[in-house]
Structure 1
Amino acid sequence: MTLISFVVPAHRVQGYLRECLDSLLGQPFGDIEVIGVDDASPDAVGDILDSYAARDPRVRAVRLTENVGLGPARNIGLDRAVGEYVWFLDGDDWLAPDCLPEVADRLRATRPDVLVVDHVRVHWTDTATRSAMAEVFPEPPGEATFRLADRPEALHLLHTAWNRLVRREYLTDLGLRFAPGWYEDVSFSYPVLLAAERIGVLDRVCVNYRQRRAGAITRTRGDRHFEVFEQWHRVFRFLDARPDLAALRPAVFERMVWHHLAVLGNGERIAPELRPAFFAQVTADYRRFLPPGGAAVPDGVEGLKHRLVAAGRWRTFSALRGANQARVTARGAARRALPVARRVARSARDVALREYYRAELRRPIDPTLAVYAAYWYRGYACNPAAVHAAARRLAPQVRGVWIVRRDRVDTLPQGTEYVVAGTRAYYRALARARWLVNNVNFPDFVRKRPGSVFVQTHHGTPVKVMGLDQQRYPLGAVGMDFAGLLRRVDRWDFSVTSNSFSTQMWDRAYPASYTTLEVGYPRNDRLVTATAEEVREVRDRLGVAPGERVVLYAPTHREHLPRYRPPFDPRRLLDVLGPAGRLLIRSHYFQDRQGRARRRTGGRAVDVSDHRSVEDLYLAADVLVTDYSSAMFDYAVLDRPIVVYAPDRDAYALARGVYLDVTAEPPGAVALTFDDLLEVFRSGAETAGEAERARRRFRDRFCALDDGHAAERVVRRIFLDEPA
């Protein structure tokens, strides 16, 4: 029999589900099954589960046609479980590495009805806080099992389903199921402990409990938090049916009051206007379930709260809460206050311009103005340029204005309206635009006005980790202000993505309440629609002769290793390519070697790092050589050979972090050394059947939306307010 059945319900967790599943399947213990339940998730959850089930026989995917909620979804997984023990793990949490062998050893040695394991809360700031395990069990709990009556303090461990493994036969005999609604863990986790004959505690951190910035019910305001009361009513009905457990009733009552006050005290759950009614229900339950002999009242402030609840004194309770919050706010303000001497003074001109910007913010939004920018004002490029061009055709009533640096004005197409960054016109446009479109973030001073629309188009499918995920890789995040990043992300109304994979990664890297437009990349429309004549014209402009085979080498930038140079010898590669070979090198670090490279190779190696249109280079190239760059996703639209050349694969993944191992799931042939790269071209492996099949799989996964109409879809949704 399988030892452990993992039941993983998943709804709107596409950005985290892969990490969850990998943490299960990558353990050095294989006697498991994973039942993933897609609770009618509107994102890519179902596809992710299907893909894991297709490649690992331990995974079974269940797709529900209607959203039933976390509790019923767990029940559906439980009904399909065959393991001796069941572990309910949420799809946005993940297991600690190498923990399963120790869990399995404890299960086999003690055969508990319930085994509770330790956890940490992992916050979106990449900080972690320990559980209450050490406070509940100041002395190590040991391996011996116990009944709750012998160690009632175990009730103080967090009342969730995911921090305990339950013997499946015991669960079946108990007839316990998850109830529908929010706080469904309450009416499951307490009865499981109350009725167990053999409880074990493993004081090893096994679960990483993700504290999400957005999307979790614990950070969602609304009246559904009132459902906590019915869940606790179920616990007491369970106790009423078990007279043999009457001695535990005072301990359960204390936990109920503590939980109700914890929910009430969380300002992110109960809106101010709902707090009096919530408090009244807490009082009603206090009086209804108070044990016959009374209940112990905690010391200090907590005891005062209990007495106020028992007396139904909401106004006094609220005043106490307000005074405490005022003290906390005052302490926080004192910590944030900085001496005037530490503040950076701006120049008089900067101060005047910012004042001008604030004045313009008080004027009405221009209902026809759309402001565009790309790559920190470096010119007319990327997705914003494609959206701008489509909007001129489809939404001519929208006035498009580009922000550009003074030295990049000449990159703008003739007739394009623009403002120069840093001028009064620049601040006026930013203040009054209805739409702001960018492939990076606008500066921190830019305000999100009511009625304005921020569109983040991004500028690539992410291979390397981005956003908040960079907190785990400090070498690649030197100097990053993550709090500032999130303030910028909170301005987004729309996030344009090129494929489901990008959507999943942006969800976790940039958690906020924006709407995702998974429509393909507007900048790739040109690659889809380019004619053979346009390709010939591009090659002519680049000086490519008819019959030449062009290889474009476009490695990514190593932010964490600015002096690193991938091993690459243009002359040796051109020798292999033969006299008809032409090498285009798009790499900033080759700029200072341009003349030397041309002299060595007779002009057949050309540095194109400054070429204004990377799409031109893609159209001109017959083969792309790259490493971890998003260039491969764009170039794959052309369905031409791609070679992944990753000589520092392991070091890059360790230091910078990657979402995708492009050597394991490549778009074509793979080379890990420069000699390997030469052999790829010498043998023709870049066009062989295996490379063709890899490219087909890659295109199916990442390029399905690139049909030449992505920009049109963005324009229709953003400017014309048509349904996505």
Structure 2
Amino acid sequence: MTLISFVVPAYRVQGYLRECLDSILGQPVDDLEVIAVDDCSPDGSGEIITEYAARDQRVQAVRLTENVGLGPARNIGLDRATGEYVWFVDADDWLAPDCLPEVAERLRTTRPDVLLVDHVRVHWNDTATRSAMREVFPTPPGEGTFRLRDRPEVMRLLHTAWNRVVRRQFLVDLGLRFAPGWYEDVSFSYPALMAAKRIGVLDRVCVNYRQRRAGAITRTRGDRHFEVFPQWHRVFHLMDDWGPAVDELRPAVFERMIWHYLTVLGNGQRIAPELRPAFFAQITADYARWLPPGGYPAPDGVEGLKHRLVATGKWRTFSALRAANRARDTARRSARIARRRVTPVARRNVRRARDVLLREYYRAELRRPVDPSLAVYAAYWYRGYSCNPAAIHEAARRLAPQIRGVWIVRRDRVAAVPPGVEYVVAGTPAYYRVLARARWLINNVNFPDFVRKRPGTVHVQTHHGTPVKVMGLDQQRYPIGAGRMDFGGLLRRVDRWDYSISSNSFSTQMWDRAYPATYTTLEVGYPRNDRLVTATTEEVLRLRADLGIGLAEKVVLYAPTHREHLRNYRPPFDPELFLDALGPTGRLLMRSHYFHDRDRRPGPTLERERILDVSSLQRVEDLYLVADALVTDYSSAMFDYAVLDRPIVLYTPDWEAYRLARGVYFDVTREPPGAVAMTFHDLLDLFRSGEYRSDAAAKTREQFRARFCGLDDGHAAERVVRQVFLGERPPPRPGC
């Protein structure tokens, strides 16, 4: 028999689900199964589950045709479980590496009904907060088992389903199921402990409990938090049914109930101010209804005072106490901030008088009405007219001509702005004016921190590539690659987004995790790739002629990515030797990453006329169209170029170092868009032999295209314009 059945319900967790499943399947224990339940999730969670089930026989995919909620979804997984034990793991959490052997050993040696395991809370800034395990068990709990009446303090451990492994037959015999609604763990976890004859505690951190910045019910205001009351009512009704056998546990269970109610009430992100009096009144009613005849162990100090106020129904006094505590905490925070701000003048950033005046001008413009017809575009920190914003701008001119589009560009890039495109120069009064008054702001990076998100305005983040390297908050785990990134500032910028453009399901999943906020994802394909689909033969020939490329020449574009952690790094690439490998009809185009315009060191001297530096060309799509093959490494260029279904070679001489230092979302050497060369010698051999365009390379490219390029049909920009500017609704997602 399988030892452990993991039940993993999934709903709107596409950004986290892979990490969860990998953390289970990657454990050095084979005696397990995973029942992954797609609770009719509207995102890509179901696709991820199907993918994992297809490649790992230990995964059983269950796809529901309607959304039933977390509790019923767990029940469905429990009904399909075959393991001796069942572990309900939330899909946005993940197991600690190599924890499962110790869990399995404890299960086999002690055969508990319930085994409690430790956890840590992992916050968005990659910090961790320990659980209450050390407070509950100041001395190690040992390997023995016990009943709840012998150690009732175990109820002070978090009452979730995911921090305990439960014997399946014990649940079946008890008939214990998860109830529908929020706070479903309450009416499952406490009864399981009360009924268990053998409870074990493993004081090893096994679960990373993700504190999501957005999307969790603990950060969602609304009246559904009142559902905590019927969940606790179920506990006490069950105790009534069980009778004297659990009477001695009533005081401890009652104390936990009041503690939990006050925890929910005290969280300002759950109960809105107008709902708090009614919530408090229900606590008072439950206090009177379920108070044990002999009383209960009420806490001391301020917490004990709260309990007494609940008992007497004194909401006004309770509210005043809460306000006083909050004022005290605010004063302490302000004092700490003030102390930090007392720094030497020499360490301050002194702004020039002109900048101060312009910012004041910007603030004045913010008081003027938003221009209902103004859209402001920018790309790559004002480097010019390019990428997804340019494609959206072009589509908007055609489909929504009533909208005035204005571009922001640096002064040194003005000459590259196409004729007829209105623009302002960054840093000028006109720049601050359009930023203050635009209704739409479209960028493939973030606008500066000073930009305010005004009511009624729409910010569109288009991004500028499908990510291989980790991005956003995920970079916290790779401090070498992250450099001095201000993650708090990043999230403040992300909070301005209304829309996030995604090129494929994979990108959507990664953006959800890297940039957690409340924006709407538009998974429509990349607007900049429309041109790759719609370009005519005549247009391609004209582009080749503009670059002096003949019809018979074999053109290879070399476009490596930037290494943020290695500022002066350039991949080992000898253009002269590579051109020799291409033969007499070969032509090599070399393009550096756009970050390299910060690096003023001269690049390699290109002495042969068949080698052309194309780094200064504004739109990389032109280069894709003229190239017969692409050589790149970890750049998002591979995803865009794959739309053309032409040969791609990954040249990855520093793969292991890059993966460890910078961090990646998937192994491009195992799932490449074509042939892979780990050394320059291998790269030359691929082109000398023609292997780069072999059937095997074409097959891997086909698989790559199926995964990443399915939405690039030439109409992505149009879909963005129709939804963002014209307010048209997207077609419903198939399935649920």
Q: Name the TM tier (shorter chain).
A: over 0.9
State the alpha-carbon separation in 1 of the partners of residues 605 and 20 from structure 2. Answer: 47
CA contact (8 A) 1:371 1:437 kept: yes
Q: 1:582 aligns with which of 564, 587, 600?
A: 587
Q: 1:132 to 1:598 in 2, by over 3 A?
A: same
Spell out, residue by residue over 1:181-222, the C-alpha distance to the aligned partner (whole angstroms, 9 max, x if none): 000000000011110011111001000000000000000000
Q: Give 1:531 shift.
A: 1.0
State the alpha-carbon separation in 2 of the partners of residues 552 and 77 from structure 1. Answer: 50
Instruction: Verify: 1:525 aligned to 2:533, yes or no.
Output: no
Letter in 1 for 2:276: R
Q: 2:503 aligns with which of 495, 498, 504?
A: 498
State the alpha-carbon separation in 1 of the partners of residues 364 and 36 from structure 2. Answer: 54
CA contact (8 A) 1:29 1:100 kept: yes
The corresponding residue for 2:275 is: 274
Spell out, residue by residue over 1:644-683, the C-alpha distance to the aligned partner (whole angstroms, 9 max, x if none): 1111111111111111211111111111111221222233
Counterpart of 2:615 in 1: which secondary structure? Answer: coil
The corresponding residue for 2:248 is: 247
The corresponding residue for 2:568 is: 563
Q: 1:21 to 1:596 in 2, by over 3 A?
A: closer
Letter in 2 for 1:319: A
Letter in 2 for 1:119: H
The corresponding residue for 2:421 is: 416
Q: 1:396 aligns with which of 395, 401, 409?
A: 401
The corresponding residue for 1:126 is: 126
Alignment of 1:49-128 (within 5 A): 49-128=49-128
Greater shift, 208-217 or 294-303, is seen at 294-303
Structure 1 unaligned residues grouped into runs of 5+: none
CA contact (8 A) 1:570 1:597 kept: no
The corresponding residue for 1:191 is: 191
The corresponding residue for 2:330 is: 329
State the alpha-carbon separation in 2 of the partners of residues 49 and 679 from structure 1. Answer: 39
Q: Give 1:446 shift.
A: 0.7
Alignment of 1:423-442 (within 5 A): 423-442=428-447
Q: 1:344 aligns with which of 349, 357, 360?
A: 349
Q: Give 1:595 shift.
A: 7.9
State the alpha-carbon separation in 2 of the partners of residues 212 and 688 from structure 1. Answer: 45
Q: TM-score, normalised by structure 1?
A: 0.98
The corresponding residue for 1:713 is: 719
Q: 1:188 to 1:356 in 2, by over 3 A?
A: same
Q: Give 1:332 shift.
A: 1.1
Counterpart of 2:672 in 1: which secondary structure? Answer: coil
Spell out, residue by residue over 1:102-142, the C-alpha distance to the aligned partner (whole angstroms, 9 max, x if none): 11111111111111100000001110000000110111111
Letter in 1 for 2:679: T
State the alpha-carbon separation in 2 of the partners of residues 170 and 680 from structure 1. Answer: 60
Q: Give 1:639 shift.
A: 0.5
Counterpart of 1:492 in 2: which secondary structure? Answer: coil
Aligned length: 722
CA contact (8 A) 2:499 2:520 kept: yes
Instruction: Verify: 1:478 aligned to 2:486, yes or no.
Output: no
Spell out, residue by residue over 1:280-329, the C-alpha distance to the aligned partner (whole angstroms, 9 max, x if none): 01011111111111112211111111111101111111100100000111
Greater shift, 84-93 or 332-341, is seen at 332-341
Q: Give 1:597 shift.
A: 4.2
Alignment of 1:242-391 (within 5 A): 242-243=242-243, 244-337=245-338, 338-339=341-342, 341=345, 343-391=348-396
Q: 1:698 aligns with which of 700, 704, 707?
A: 704
Greater shift, 96-105 or 610-619, is seen at 610-619
State the alpha-carbon separation in 1 of the partners of residues 609 and 23 from structure 2. Answer: 51
Structure 2 unaligned residues grouped into runs of 5+: 731-736
CA contact (8 A) 2:252 2:297 kept: no
Letter in 2 for 1:532: T
Letter in 1 for 2:342: P
State the alpha-carbon separation in 2 of the partners of residues 647 and 48 from structure 1. Answer: 30
Q: Give 1:542 shift.
A: 1.5
Counterpart of 2:263 in 1: which secondary structure? Answer: helix
The corresponding residue for 2:733 is: none
Q: Give 1:180 shift.
A: 0.1
Greater shift, 564-573 or 21-30, is seen at 564-573
The corresponding residue for 1:488 is: 493
The corresponding residue for 1:177 is: 177
Alignment of 1:519-668 (within 5 A): 519-587=524-592, 597-599=605-607, 602-668=608-674
State the alpha-carbon separation in 2 of the partners of residues 721 and 604 from structure 1. Answer: 49
The corresponding residue for 2:734 is: none
State the alpha-carbon separation in 2 of the partners of residues 285 and 594 from structure 1. Answer: 75
Counterpart of 2:606 in 1: which secondary structure? Answer: helix
CA contact (8 A) 1:597 1:605 kept: no
CA contact (8 A) 1:598 1:604 kept: no
Q: Give 1:582 shift.
A: 1.3
Q: 1:399 to 1:593 in 2, by over 3 A?
A: closer
Spell out, residue by residue over 1:673-702, the C-alpha distance to the aligned partner (whole angstroms, 9 max, x if none): 112212222332211111111111111111
Spell out, residue by residue over 1:628-657, the C-alpha distance to the aligned partner (whole angstroms, 9 max, x if none): 100000000100011111111111111111
Letter in 2 for 1:298: P
Spell out, residue by residue over 1:167-191, the C-alpha distance to the aligned partner (whole angstroms, 9 max, x if none): 0011100000000000000000001
Q: Give 1:593 shift.
A: 8.9
Q: 1:236 to 1:389 in 2, by over 3 A?
A: same
Letter in 2 for 1:274: L
Letter in 2 for 1:639: D
